[in-house]
Structure 1
Amino acid sequence: MSVVACDPDHELRVLAEFRDGVYRCFGRWADTLFELVDALAGSTRPIRSVAELMFEPVLRRGWGSLYQALERGAVDVVAARALLARHVRPAGVLMFAVDVSKFPRPDTRYVPDVGMQYAAERDSAGGTPVVPGWAVQWLCQVGLGAAGDPKRSWVVPMDLRRVGTADNANDLAAAQIADLAAQLRAGKVPGIPLFLHDVG
């Protein structure tokens, strides 16, 4: 009978490596941006503004620092995508979903490149099913829930890109898929990825 060695600290080391990788993706204002990520990840309630993050215990900075970090900070997006691809969760089949989310901005006069976004919740009410706002396209690993338990469907975000008013979401999806596939090959992630799309 063989005994498999169990390393109780393995997951902690993986988490520490991931957090170190996240920090290295930041340039200017790295400390504040890292605390911002921690505050967002640890929040148990919806965050509607940057100033609300000041109430999160892990954030030690004032709201002014947060705004400055968001405006002046630097993020190495290519390094961040590579980091996420290295941490793809093992699963029976590598499945990824691509979909667009809307971020309504109906009252803004200051946010650039606002377009009309489809709003399904307004379609059934007899109103016009659109709202001014931004469109953002997600690429996430899916199929990570417990076997046979559809209510526990976890996802792991791999990429997020803004769909501008002059952009084509399908072209953007193709670029996201090509970039992730290249990262998976470079990282020697086993399996053939399957990409799921909505009707659009």
Structure 2
Amino acid sequence: MGVLAEPARIEALAVLSGFRTEFFGCLTARADALFELAEVVLCTDGPVRALVDLSLAPEHRRGHGAMYDALNCGRIDVARLRWAMTALPLPRAADGRIVLAADVSPWLRPDAATSPDRSFCHTYGRGKNQHPMIPGWPYSFVAALETGRTSWTALLDAVRLEPGADLAAVTAAQVRGVVERLLAAGQHHDGDPPFLIVFDAGYDVPRLAFLLRDLPVEALGRTRSDRVFRRPAPSREEFFAANPLGGRLPRHGGEFGFGDSATWGKPQAETLTRTDRYGAAAASCWDRLHPRLTRRAAWLDFSDELPIISGTVIRLQVDHLPSGGDPKPIWLWWSGTNATAADLDRLWQSFLRRFDLEHTFRMLKQTLGWTAPRLRDAAAADRWTWLIIAAHTQLRLARHLRRPWERPLPARKLTPTRVRRGFRNLRQKCPLPAAVPKPGRPGPGRPPGSQNKHTASRHDVGLMLATGEAYARPAHHKKGTKPRRRA
């Protein structure tokens, strides 16, 4: 184990054993085969390349046919598994609050014409300044973040996005479910600081804050650098003092253009922090700014008067990047107001911790083999996704593990890959609820020389709207047109 004392190691082992027993109880069909499949993902040497290779590991006592049968016909009580992961010890920030992050990671299936429910997924880093759209299954993840530089996150939920799904609505419902389970599990009490939900670019953060306004949460997300927000509307006295002839009271104040420094004015708070990776990090914030909403897109069917969603705009500028590129300012929007200098530093540092979720995605894909199987059915992909999440959770609970000859390190410095190398020895001290397979013989299969007469159905890949209509690219988004300033 790591540098923990003996009582702490025993308690950590008890938590891991309890989760393994509860995880096995969540498997309602083909439980033994599904549990051993998750076991072999944790115990196999090297990264997972294909499912059939896992059947050769000693921890998998069944044939490869039982493995595919478990993924195609097994069942997992996802609701119970979500509750089990919510009740586990979760990382917290220095002030005791739980910081959550939500992001989408795609399972690309460009050649799977027989797989249903595929949609076009955003991809990055596949060419110089190229971000092609590739068919696949996009999954939305929610995880609890830790403090400091680490590659650990606590995965709490995953939802596959249907074609044409409203990302903000799905994410809001997903985050709401996670927060409600955390409240019911006693992870948050009256008087505790609210949850901080961190989003990257691509999310409508003001809308998410409006959808989650009845929960003890704060939304923090990155916004585009060409946005234009509005200041609060002037009071009645200020308006008539500036307009003696009267007129209609405005709902919005003056503009705050991210790209126009003449509209910024004096910031409410400013900080300067020296960092090892980025040099001097200068942060500034402006209070009570809101986007001007119009009745289009998500607000088209909003029956009431469009709300004023006020928050704090944060600008972060660093001296240099580790890669040596030209650093550009990062603009953030926080759903809270009246930010102090301490809040400003806490917020932008919490946003940087969101990138730890990218390390988790890389671990899931490159080591645990989340996107390695060539599954046809989307439901089977969901089962495999939850098996990978359960496996990653066991690694997090066993993060004090080390090989006898390895140098002890604090738990926060151990990587998931190093913990996985010794999991095969640790599992001998944990419950093994999977039963021994019964002897059997394979079926006769299709007679030699006969052809398969039941061909699989082909499914087109298209971006559909939530209303069921086909997606049409707006005229102002087409190539060659001048982009307009976003309000």
TM-score of the superposed pair, with normalisation by structure 2:
0.37
Q: Are 1:138 and 2:136 matched, yes or no?
A: no
- Partner Cα distance (1:101, 1:143) in 2: 20
Partners of 1:97 and 1:140 within 8 A in 2: yes
Counterpart of 1:115 (choices 112, 119, 138) is: 119
C-alpha displacement at 1:47, in angstroms? Answer: 2.3
The residue correspondences of 1:45-124 to structure 2 (distance < 5 A) are 45-92=46-93, 93-122=97-126, 124=128
Partners of 1:104 and 1:134 within 8 A in 2: yes
| 2:378 paired residue number | none
For these two proteins, the number of residue pairs brought into alignment is 191
The AA in structure 2 aligned to 1:34 is: F
Partners of 2:140 and 2:160 within 8 A in 1: yes
Partners of 2:91 and 2:145 within 8 A in 1: no
Structure 1 residues 83, 138: closer, same or farther in 2, change over 3 A? same
Partners of 1:36 and 1:66 within 8 A in 2: yes
Q: Secondary structure at the match of 2:72?
A: helix
Partners of 1:121 and 1:129 within 8 A in 2: no
- Partner Cα distance (2:154, 2:42) in 1: 13
Q: Secondary structure at the match of 2:198?
A: strand
Structure 1 residues 123, 172: closer, same or farther in 2, change over 3 A? farther
- Partner Cα distance (2:159, 2:22) in 1: 20
Counterpart of 1:175 (choices 161, 173, 176) is: 173
- Partner Cα distance (1:194, 1:19) in 2: 29
Q: Which has the higher helix share?
A: 1
- Partner Cα distance (1:108, 1:90) in 2: 38
Structure 1 residues 143, 7: closer, same or farther in 2, change over 3 A? closer
Deviations 1:73-123 (A, max 9, x none): 111110011001001424233111100011111111221121111111235
Moved more, 112-121 or 86-95: 86-95
Q: Secondary structure at the match of 2:35?
A: helix
- Partner Cα distance (1:169, 1:52) in 2: 36
- Partner Cα distance (1:63, 1:163) in 2: 29
The AA in structure 1 aligned to 2:197 is: F
Please tell me whether Structure 1 or Structure 2 has the larger radius of gyration of its CA atoms: 2
Identity of aligned residues (%): 28
| 1:158 paired residue number | 156
C-alpha displacement at 1:134, in angstroms? Answer: 1.2
Moved more, 102-111 or 34-43: 34-43
Deviations 1:120-176 (A, max 9, x none): 1235255x61111111111111125xx4xx2x2311111111011121222111111
C-alpha displacement at 1:40, in angstroms? Answer: 2.1
TM-score of the superposed pair, with normalisation by structure 1:
0.86
- Partner Cα distance (1:184, 1:66) in 2: 33
Deviations 1:12-57 (A, max 9, x none): 1111101011001010111111111112233453324321221333
Partners of 2:91 and 2:144 within 8 A in 1: no
The AA in structure 2 aligned to 1:39 is: V
- Partner Cα distance (2:56, 2:129) in 1: 36
Unpaired stretches in structure 1, ≥5 consecutive residues: none
- Partner Cα distance (1:84, 1:61) in 2: 28
Q: Are 1:129 and 2:166 matched, yes or no?
A: no
Partners of 2:91 and 2:146 within 8 A in 1: no
- Partner Cα distance (2:56, 2:169) in 1: 40
Q: Provide the aligned C-alpha RMSD in A.
A: 2.1
- Partner Cα distance (1:163, 1:100) in 2: 9
Select the structure with the greater relative contact order (CA < 8 A; seq sep ≥ 6). Answer: 2
Structure 1 residues 88, 172: closer, same or farther in 2, change over 3 A? farther
Partners of 2:104 and 2:138 within 8 A in 1: yes
